[in-house]
Structure 1
Amino acid sequence: MKYLNVALFLIVTFCLSTSISKAQKKPDFLDHLHDPWVDSLLNQMSLDQKIGQLFIVQAYSTEDKSPESVLADIRNNQVGGIIFMQGTAPRQAELTNQFQEASKIPLLIAIDGEWGPAFRLKDTPRYPVQMALGAIQEDSLIYEMGREIGEQFRRLGVHVNFAPVSDVNNNPDNPVINYRSFGENPENVARKAMLYANGMQDVHLLAVAKHFPGHGDTNVDSHLGLPVIKHSLTRLNEVEMYPFKKMVQEGIGGVMTAHIQVPALEPNPKLPASLSPAIIQQRLINEFGFGGMVFTDAMNMHGVTKLYQPGEAAVLALKAGNDMLEIVPDLDEAVMDVTKAVRENEISMEEIDLHCRKILALKKWLGLDSLKTVDLSNLQQDLNKPTYKLTQRLLHEKSITALINRDNLMPLQRLDTLRTAVISFGRTTETAFQKMASRYQRIDGFNIKKEATNAEIDELVRQLAPYNMVIIGIHNLNLSPTRNYGTTPGMSYLIKQLRDKTKIVSVFGNAYALDKIDGIETANGLILSYQENTITEELSAQAIYGSIAVDGRLPVNVNAYFRLNDGISIQKVDRLKYTIPEEVKVSSSYLERRIDSIAMLGINDKAYPGCQVLIAIDGKVILSKSYGYHTYDKQEPVLEDDLYDIASVTKVTGALPALIRLYDERKFKLDMPFSFYWPAFRGTDKEKMTSRQILAHQARLKPWIPFWQNELNKNGNLRSAVFRETPDQEFNIRVSSHLYMDHNNINHMYDEIKDSQLLTRTKYTYSDLGFMIFPKIIEELSGENYEQYLAENFYQPLGATTITYNAYKHFPERRIVPTEQDDNFRHELLRGYVHDEGASMLGGVSGNAGIFSSANDLAKLMQMYLQFGHYGGVTYLDSTSMAEFTRVQYPRNENRRGLAFDKPYIDNYKNTLENAFPAVSASPESFGHTGFTGTFVWMDPKYNILFIFLSNRVYPTRNNNKLSRLNIRPAMHQTIYDALFRGL
């Protein structure tokens, strides 16, 4: 032979153990080299069949591509494999079955799936690009990704994945590798590439490391020309070839050779590495000891075709040591020339047999000796399992890299001090980044096109004058170096114009793009997420607000400001995280199907026109969904940020946090007579009742007083001495859109409470009356306006800015869900005005009712309770106080109540779902509250569950009790426990 030492080839490949050190792992499929099926089939094959096995032809699974040319190659040349290009999974599976049926010898099905099936196929899982994976410190996730990709491809009938890219990219201008590489550190690349490979190979998908001997430091695309790597042998060993050598030692099954010229390894300037015996046979096989499958890169690339004819290149590739040749431009010519080379002893028959034996051994390892067709049923569902989506999310999350965090700005704290603008530069409509930021605090969103002029940017800067915090998302970038990675001069201009603003910049793109945005190093905070999609946008916002930790490290050198391995760890704070159910080991399909079904049952049976549902476990929101409409005319769908009148949930949302805070400060004592704080009760039968008794509904107070009905004249009309339709100095208590009350009547209401008759027995009786007084007591003890106290101490710091009294004052009507058509007292549809009549006569501000909120903002306060007073890195309430307020106070009196909080029925677990409250599985430690308008909040510290249900079941009338009759809230609540106990 001209180039190949046949004896050495036989020793290395056929007798692998003599050339691989004991510490080196051989590819698993080599165990089948002498399998009876391999021996039998090889002995039966003709020369034409053996040569045909050495070629892989391309196929497309798009509907517009005919499979006839592939079928012809199978019939005429008996090719060994197919590589699928663009298309869809169902079509590819159909074609795979068709091709396998047409082939006498089972086909290897291959694909380029560098970040999973979505690299080639629509509507399939898309994992992060390898540059992002290079930033991850938690390497085990990359193995899990590889295993999942292996499962997906095997389900699809694929046997070989031409991945991972194992090139060390150290050239920002590399047009073909770049973001496809794990980065610039050879050890990091080697480790992560092998983890990815091991994951695939552990489920019997052959992994192929590419592009040997290293395509990272090039500025020419080998699809278009022949790149030259001019480094010394020392440098090549330390950098470019290092990952491949390590992966060979650890058992990589396949290696793809590159169409690049490397003078230090191959002096012939016209001989690419893919055709070089010195590089493949001598370096990869002999020196490194690689005995697995050697594949060429696509032979139709200009790095080869500009130098050689197809047949000539095919002969050279086989003589160099490649086992299989991918996408030869003229297969008939290539087969003919290889056949001629064998007959003329330019290539020995022994070499052909050895290549074929390896290919057949691989097919045996893959189970192709008992070929099964791809099952077409449920294919798309199987490829898109929610557990796969979880891994995608976690990989993106762990890759996020903080490069600047001056004065520990992130995670953002003291939200009440921030007026925040969130700009999406490069997008003209609201982005997922902006929407997620709005879940944490009230923000104003601004969008500006990518090609914005300086004048347009100046106008934006003018609008930003009132804001003391600006968050900028840089969108619509290119992953490749094309046009400076998609950056524009306007991006730099905006940052410079905001030089005096506190600003955080989040870049959704290639790390190298940072070098193209002048002044970005002046930002107060800088977050890099490596690519742009809904997941990275949402997670970047969550990183800024601290609901996820940040620990990524830059995998490449960018410039003098941003160097390899740079990255600032940012600890998360205990704010709500938004994710998918699988993160807490709950099946999303099960949970959503059941919750959707129950929610729609209520809507279809007209228990309520619409609702919001929020579920969090372990501080992670796993479902936040709106159903139905504001009213039954179906004109306004319920949106996530719409506000509901939460009715008696006000008791634990308004008065209670203030009382616990005052209790912490020893300004409020539970067992002190209530009359100490409310002198009006002194000298009455209520003088000795305690605040504990009132909060636990154990004070013998009447449930309620029909205050407005007591102000009717003998004709049944409201007394004009108390109510008027136009306001003035005295009639300044607004009860509804057109009704005003004399403010002096509030004192009369308090007198009615004072003079009300006590119940005869001391037992649990739910009462609003004491809660109506608490706001005045809170003002007296705190020295502040009640609403202002709540906003400044709780709602605003929590970022819960939709929690408010009198929603009509603060929000447009379209965002407020209406309650009842009140035809008795206020004679209007109530929208933004409190439903509870007593609370309305207190100006809409009471401790028993009056608060409006979205489910998302209500969740922040309730999660703070669930975390026993702590949220977002801030302690709002003492944990021992929370323990006191959430325990059952009078169990011996069959009173299940905590202090303001409701509790499960005593021995609730013994009940059926129909008779339980709330859910049968709710722990005795759990607590919450219900609301008359159809609302419900419940926290369970044993299982770390938060459940919020908001509806307007009183629309159009309170007489609609279907919500209770259908058992909607307990059924939903129990579903959460069922899903948690059921697991994945």
Structure 2
Amino acid sequence: MPLSVRQRLLACTLSVLFFAQTVHSQTVPSFLKANPRWVDSVFNAMTPDQRISQLIMVAGFSNRTQSYEDSLMTLVRTYQIGGIVFFQGGPIRQARLINRLQTVAKVPMLVALDGEWGLGMRLDSTVRFPYQMTMGAIQGRDDLIYKMGAAVARQSRRLGIHVNFAPVADVNNNPNNPVINFRSFGEDKEAVARKALAYMKGMQDNGLLTSLKHFPGHGDTGTDSHYDLPLISKNREQLDQLELYPFRKLIDAGAAGVMIAHLNIPALDSTPNLPSTLSRKVVTDLLKNELGFGGLIYSDAMNMKGVMKYFPSGIADRMGLEAGMDVLEYTLDIPRAIAEVKQAIADGRLSQADIDARCRKVLAAKAWSGLDRYKPVDLMNLVRDLNEPESNLINRLLTEEALTVLKNDREPSGEPLIPLLNLGTKRIASVSLDAAQETSFQKMLANYTAVKSFNIAASTADTTIERIRKELEGYDVLLVGVHLSNIRPAVQYGVTPKTVALLKELCETGKAVVSVFGNPYALNKLEGLDKARGLIMAYQLTSFTEELAAQLIFGAIPAKGKLPVTVNEQFKLNDGIATSSISRLKYTIPEEVGVDSYFLTAKVDSLMQVALEQKATPGGVVEMAKDGKVIFRKAYGTHTYEGLTPTKEDDLFDLASVTKVSTSTPALMRLVDEGKFDLNKTMGDYLPSFKNSNKADLVWRDVLTHQAGLKASIAFWLDTKNPDGTWKDHTFSEEKHGPYKVEITDHLFMHKKYRKTIFETIRDSPVSTKKDYVYSDLSFILYPQIVEKMTDQNFEDYLKKNIYEPLGATTLTFNPMRFYPLPRIVPTEYDSVFRKTLVWGRVHDEGAAMLGGLSGHAGLFGTSNDLLKLAQMYLQKGYYGGKQFISPQTITEFTRYQFPEKGSRRGIGFDKPTFKYSGNAPRNASPQSFGHSGFTGTFIWVDPQYNISYVFMSNRVYPSRSHTKLITLNIRTNVADALYEGILRGPTSNVATILATP
């Protein structure tokens, strides 16, 4: 029945109102309003053919020959193409090529890149951010995804790129999707929309045009549109409910661009074999009219089989514009495309007005991107600028937030296995599958405790695997890394039958904690995971995922992520077990604690260069932590001036007097906590042989603060010499025999009873009545006796079992040659007087050497990293790795000024800053700080006010202790001050933004 005039008017009015409301709900893309005067001026100067050319983007590669670049130049010059999309190359080469091409373009070209995970998706020497699937696991930190978008925008604009074909807004609800898969944020449409919006806004708010893809949704297909035309058989309601949902949300939020996928979707257009790219019903009716999108509409690459299978180049391009697209990406046959479009205008299938409107839109995008005031890409510091530390920080934070624990069995104590506790009771091995050499995962694991590494690759012989199998029987925990080198389903995500078999075998031992570095869908192809004691999904294989998974296992960071997809019945969407951090050191970069890495590195490098040039030391290691995070760890120089052995971060150094605060002092603190040692009692109370000596009434508090009147030191070895230079009887022999068992060097052995003489010499030494401050070694030689008497344990065993091993500080040891190869131990002095040899692998201090290398004043060796764990335990008031080693009250007591009224700077055992700067401590050190220096060139410092711990290792006494420049130049404390200065300077503006939580 025909409608009346009134009904038709009412229907028209309702339609207009509905359209107005729909348009009102959209956020109009901001670029459309950019510099209309420039747009008009440029547009009016163009020929009709040039206006068509503005809608074409040619493909670009910066890793090809000069003849290729010349042909590209000719193409741009001839047809005045509107844009170029780059696919492969490097930043410097690409910048030069962009600059060349822009010189022949009358209107500067719009430069695009397919950078879903940043420039690194296409270009070498640039940043690769996490895949979208990885970020799909992140819970509640979409602000980090926004900040990643901002970083991608900064880097893109720095390289002369104006458009990023990202984010992917596809909902990947098909595990077998060969083309989207890990490129999607996951299968939850709400999460996909929310995270894609954060990424989009991060880019657009920082001056980069974006393009949502792949409209109307490429997530539910088993066909790759690069090679064929996928068929989407869903009905319209299903598409509305799922695929279109994220696109609607982002369009409403002001998306600048949308990319059309090559899909055949009968529910939207029933034309046989017609790709959505060429469908007016999809591009114009659905995207433009129904969804109200007014930004730039891009085709997916027009060279893909999804479009070319049925429509040749040129014709497909013309049909794309007829469908309503604005920009044709990767047009292969430009002359034919232009000719086809001109013919379509002549035939009335397209109007010049359509072309003109789209040309103006492209020009507006160019004006918004700054091309109305075009400048060439500046090549100066380009690679450095593109690899800003801020991106490193974002990468770390995103990865950390994504890591997902899917299995975490409980220990007999009831505690969850992850994070690993009680390190002193576990023998731990790491096994990296599909990795021929030691991995980043294994290297990071080794920072936490002694971990034996095994690697099994595809080429590993069966005999080697059998040897590894036998050896693993002796370990309590197996930390297994599954290193999948491929992320795509077409190659089974890199999973091989050998990997499956080995992993299953390892899981069946009941000892395995498995970390999967690959696509989460790979979990469905790995057998035996139900027998694993722990399972971590890291989502991809990068140095960030490997290092942070290792840190998660040891509790330096918590697990927060949840699966963004359903893998199978065992591993489902949103599965994820939260774990806690237990205050172990985290390894990161300075920016994470608000310190500029360029500044800190430059300052420390400069100071260490001075030390090396001035021969203050042959080499050294500097390690710094703030807020429980190791932010600087670097080795310098060589072991000796003559040798070629470079100093390494994990070299062992003779700690010299740092031994005092690493052995005697922590042992006494524990005894104080146990009520076994009283600082206000006397030497006679705990040393029976001292009861009738001049030291019987010396109070331990005075002794430990070096104001009891003890001599500074005694050269015990000098008392073993006759006037003619020969050894006295019952002292030394150049051969090991009978009672001469205490090995001083390979050719010098001390009588086993002479140890008693040393203690008697200390007992009988004079005591000053002045009680002035005199730094003395003597009492520290005695503390091992006290500890052994009170604990019924050997001094070294007590320290290792109660402190070092539970800390994971397993390299802290006396007489290191028992456990470590000599090349890993740094030599100290050539002793031309007493031992007459190079002191290497044995304690430098003569008195400690005569005590068998074990004393409370000198003799401890270790790496900077393990010493820093001890320092961090002090900083954390005696707590580390889930264990309270020493009570906070005792830490506070030992590290405070004891007698400031007397002008004494000493704590108990610890040194502290002088009240007027003297160089013994960093210039900026707070009154709460404490530490100690070692004669060989070592230094440890802790500052609770700034929440920092610091270790300096060197062998400044090589080749002779007469080398004092390390001390006179204040190298150790000046290096520490570089950290203080970095903290006081604060972060760069970009880092401050990243660190700011919503």
Same fold, judged at TM 0.5 (above) = yes
Q: Is contact 2:704-2:908 (8 Å) kept?
A: yes
Q: Tell me the amino acid that sits aligned with residue 223 of structure 2.
A: V
Could you say which residue in structure 2 is the equivalent of 1:308?
311
Per-residue CA deviations over 1:111-163 (Å, capped at 9, x if unaligned) read 11111111111101111111111111211110000001001111111111101
Alignment pair present for 1:669 and 2:684: no
Q: Aligned to 2:575, which of 558, 566, 569?
A: 566
Aligned pairs (5 A) from 1:506-655? 506-655=515-664
Per-residue CA deviations over 1:909-958 (Å, capped at 9, x if unaligned) read xxxxxx43311101111000011111111111110111111111111211
Could you say which residue in structure 2 is the equivalent of 1:433?
441
Q: Aligned to 1:715, which of 708, 724, 739?
A: 724
Aligned pairs (5 A) from 1:178-327? 178-327=181-330
Could you say which residue in structure 2 is the equivalent of 1:122?
124
Alignment pair present for 1:824 and 2:825: no
Alignment pair present for 1:155 and 2:158: yes
Secondary structure of the residue aligned to 2:447 is helix
Could you say which residue in structure 2 is the equivalent of 1:54?
55
Q: Is contact 1:888-1:897 (8 Å) kept?
A: yes
Deviation, structure 1 residue 824: 1.6
Q: Is contact 1:763-1:895 (8 Å) kept?
A: no
Separation of aligned partners in 2, 1:663 and 1:456 = 51
Could you say which residue in structure 2 is the equivalent of 1:113?
115
Deviation, structure 1 residue 19: 6.4
Could you say which residue in structure 1 is the equivalent of 2:980?
977
Q: Is contact 2:85-2:112 (8 Å) kept?
A: yes
Aligned pairs (5 A) from 1:48-127? 48-64=49-65, 66-127=68-129
Aligned pairs (5 A) from 1:870-881? 870-881=879-890
Separation of aligned partners in 1, 2:363 and 2:894 = 71
Q: Is contact 1:543-1:550 (8 Å) kept?
A: yes
Against the structure 1 CA distance between its residues 151 and 341, is the aligned structure 2 distance closer, same or farther, given a 3 Å change threshold?
A: same
Per-residue CA deviations over 1:167-212 (Å, capped at 9, x if unaligned) read 1112222221111111111111111111111011011111100000
Q: Aligned to 2:478, which of 462, 470, 493?
A: 470
Q: Aligned to 1:838, which of 819, 839, 847?
A: 847
Separation of aligned partners in 2, 1:50 and 1:195 = 34
Could you say which residue in structure 2 is the equivalent of 1:44?
45
Against the structure 1 CA distance between its residues 456 and 958, is the aligned structure 2 distance closer, same or farther, given a 3 Å change threshold?
A: closer
Secondary structure of the residue aligned to 1:504 is strand
Deviation, structure 1 residue 452: 5.0
Give the TM-score normalised by the residue count of structure 1: 0.96
Q: Tell me the amino acid that sits aligned with residue 552 of structure 1.
A: G
Deviation, structure 1 residue 585: 1.4
Separation of aligned partners in 2, 1:500 and 1:58 = 53
Could you say which residue in structure 1 is the equivalent of 2:418?
410
Q: Is contact 2:721-2:728 (8 Å) kept?
A: yes
Alignment pair present for 1:369 and 2:372: yes
Alignment pair present for 1:686 and 2:695: yes
Q: Is contact 1:804-1:852 (8 Å) kept?
A: yes
Could you say which residue in structure 2 is the equivalent of 1:8?
none
Per-residue CA deviations over 1:863-885 (Å, capped at 9, x if unaligned) read 10111101111110000110000
Per-residue CA deviations over 1:39-81 (Å, capped at 9, x if unaligned) read 3333333211211111111111124252233333323322211
Secondary structure of the residue aligned to 1:291 is coil
Aligned positions, number:
965
Aligned pairs (5 A) from 1:839-918? 839-908=848-917, 915-918=918-921
Deviation, structure 1 residue 664: 0.7
Separation of aligned partners in 1, 2:18 and 2:767 = 94
Could you say which residue in structure 1 is the equivalent of 2:503?
495
Deviation, structure 1 residue 706: 1.3
Separation of aligned partners in 2, 1:82 and 1:636 = 51
Aligned pairs (5 A) from 1:131-150? 131-137=133-139, 138-150=141-153
Aligned pairs (5 A) from 1:165-180? 165-180=168-183
Could you say which residue in structure 1 is the equivalent of 2:26?
24
Deviation, structure 1 residue 454: 6.3
Q: Tell me the amino acid that sits aligned with residue 440 of structure 1.
A: Y
Secondary structure of the residue aligned to 2:905 is coil
Separation of aligned partners in 1, 2:46 and 2:503 = 68
Separation of aligned partners in 2, 1:69 and 1:294 = 28
Deviation, structure 1 residue 417: 1.2
Deviation, structure 1 residue 252: 0.8
Deviation, structure 1 residue 482: 2.8
Q: Is contact 2:919-2:970 (8 Å) kept?
A: no
Q: Tell me the amino acid that sits aligned with residue 65 of structure 2.
A: D
Secondary structure of the residue aligned to 1:131 is helix
Separation of aligned partners in 1, 2:531 and 2:33 = 58
Q: Is contact 2:871-2:950 (8 Å) kept?
A: no
Q: Is contact 1:19-1:289 (8 Å) kept?
A: no
Q: Tell me the amino acid that sits aligned with residue 473 of structure 1.
A: G
Separation of aligned partners in 1, 2:880 and 2:199 = 37
Q: Is contact 2:431-2:478 (8 Å) kept?
A: yes
Q: Is contact 1:255-1:293 (8 Å) kept?
A: yes
Q: Is contact 1:427-1:476 (8 Å) kept?
A: no
Q: Is contact 2:187-2:565 (8 Å) kept?
A: yes
Secondary structure of the residue aligned to 2:111 is strand
Secondary structure of the residue aligned to 1:37 is helix
Could you say which residue in structure 1 is the equivalent of 2:9?
none
Separation of aligned partners in 2, 1:545 and 1:364 = 52
Q: Is contact 1:504-1:525 (8 Å) kept?
A: yes
Q: Is contact 2:623-2:951 (8 Å) kept?
A: yes
Comparing 866-875 with 449-458, greater Cα deviation is found at 449-458
Alignment pair present for 1:798 and 2:801: no
Separation of aligned partners in 2, 1:15 and 1:261 = 33
Deviation, structure 1 residue 547: 0.8
Deviation, structure 1 residue 566: 1.0
Deviation, structure 1 residue 762: 1.4
Separation of aligned partners in 2, 1:288 and 1:715 = 103
Deviation, structure 1 residue 830: 1.3
Against the structure 1 CA distance between its residues 453 and 518, is the aligned structure 2 distance closer, same or farther, given a 3 Å change threshold?
A: farther
Deviation, structure 1 residue 459: 3.9
Secondary structure of the residue aligned to 2:288 is helix
Could you say which residue in structure 2 is the equivalent of 1:911?
none
Against the structure 1 CA distance between its residues 971 and 212, is the aligned structure 2 distance closer, same or farther, given a 3 Å change threshold?
A: same
Separation of aligned partners in 1, 2:83 and 2:20 = 30
Deviation, structure 1 residue 303: 0.9
Q: Is contact 1:27-1:253 (8 Å) kept?
A: yes
Separation of aligned partners in 1, 2:371 and 2:505 = 63
Separation of aligned partners in 2, 1:734 and 1:454 = 44
Query: Where does structure 2 lack aligned partners over 5 or more consecutive residues?
Result: 1-12, 411-415, 988-998
Q: Aligned to 1:702, which of 694, 704, 711?
A: 711
| Identity %, equivalent residues | 47
Could you say which residue in structure 2 is the equivalent of 1:930?
933
Aligned pairs (5 A) from 1:439-454? 439-450=447-458
Could you say which residue in structure 2 is the equivalent of 1:912?
none
Q: Is contact 1:280-1:320 (8 Å) kept?
A: yes
Deviation, structure 1 residue 24: 2.6
Secondary structure of the residue aligned to 1:561 is coil
Comparing 117-126 with 532-541, greater Cα deviation is found at 532-541
Give the TM-score normalised by the residue count of structure 2: 0.94
Deviation, structure 1 residue 400: 1.2
Separation of aligned partners in 2, 1:44 and 1:936 = 72
